[in-house]
Amino acid sequence: MPELSRLNGSSSGIQLDFVEREATPRELMRLSIQLHLAKLSLSDTVSVLERFGVERARSTIHNWVQKADLQPAAGKQPDHVALDETVIQLDDQRYWLYAAIDPKTHEFLHFKLYSTRTTALTEMFLRELTEKHDVEDAVFLVDSALWLKAALHHLGLRFRYEKHGNWNAVERLFQEIKRHTSQFGNCFRNADPATAETWLQSYAYCWNQLI
């Protein structure tokens, strides 16, 4: 688990504009969001709040995470981008999580959840990525997935096959996500795709703040 001192510092950037009438002190709300995203289950996060004399339901903390609408910051200019996708299970349905990662800093650049994987959806993901970050001159690192290569070629983005080295950054982060989402009996049980994607975006924000 990340050190609490680091968590406390990084939580200050969480905006709570959605709050209207909430008795919980804002700093405790920020800390709760950060603790849950950083690896505490909702039940354990509730226990932390109780130490401060605040009693809140697990669903309340879940709603704070959803309403905070956190996501990785834009405006990066990486030299290389590791690009890949992996399966995320939502109950009995499979979805595909696309991720673009800066292998030098291990920061998430862009995240998106799709119901399938196609060249057209990959192009959509890449167009969103180019709108958020300056990646036109970056070299994309990909595995042998044909839809990734086809989309990059169609958009005129440079890429090379790399199954080891810098490309491994994306695989390591996917493993971390899957460990985190399965650690508490699956964070995505009974969740719709939009809810799961918001949580994943929030997790990416948290990760970028802590590395």
Q: Which helix (H) or strand (E) holds 96?
A: strand 93-102
- The reported pLDDT for the residue numbered 20 is 66
**Distance in angstroms (rounded) separating the CA atoms of residues 127 and 151:** 10
What is the torsional sign of CA 176, 182, 187, 193? positive
172 within 8 A of 38, measured Cβ to Cβ: no
Phi, psi torsion values for 108, nearest 5 degrees: -75, 130
10-24, 59-73, 84-98, 116-130 — which is least confidently predicted? 10-24
- The reported pLDDT for the residue numbered 2 is 40
User: Superfamily assignment of 80-210 in CATH?
Assistant: Ribonuclease H-like superfamily/Ribonuclease H (3.30.420.10)
Token pair belonging to 79: 């030299």
**Distance in angstroms (rounded) separating the CA atoms of residues 118 and 193:** 18
Domain ranges of the chain: 4-68, 80-210
Band the pLDDT of 45: cuts 50, 70, 90. Answer: very high
Q: What is the mean pLDDT of residues 70-93?
A: 90
Task: Dump pLDDT digits (tens) for 155-176.
Answer: 999 999 887 666 677 777 778 7
More confident residue, 39 or 76: 76
Q: Is the pLDDT confidence value at 193 over 90? A: no
- The reported pLDDT for the residue numbered 123 is 97
- The reported pLDDT for the residue numbered 5 is 44
Q: Is the pLDDT confidence value at 114 over 60? A: yes
What pairs with residue 97 in β-bridges?
86, 113
Of the candidates 12, 2, 33, which has an alpha carbon nearest to the alpha carbon of residue 211?
Answer: 2
Q: Which helix (H) or strand (E) holds 32?
A: helix 26-38
Of the candidates 121, 123, 143, which has an alpha carbon nearest to the alpha carbon of residue 131?
Answer: 123
What is the torsional sign of CA 20, 24, 29, 32? negative
pTM of the model: 0.80
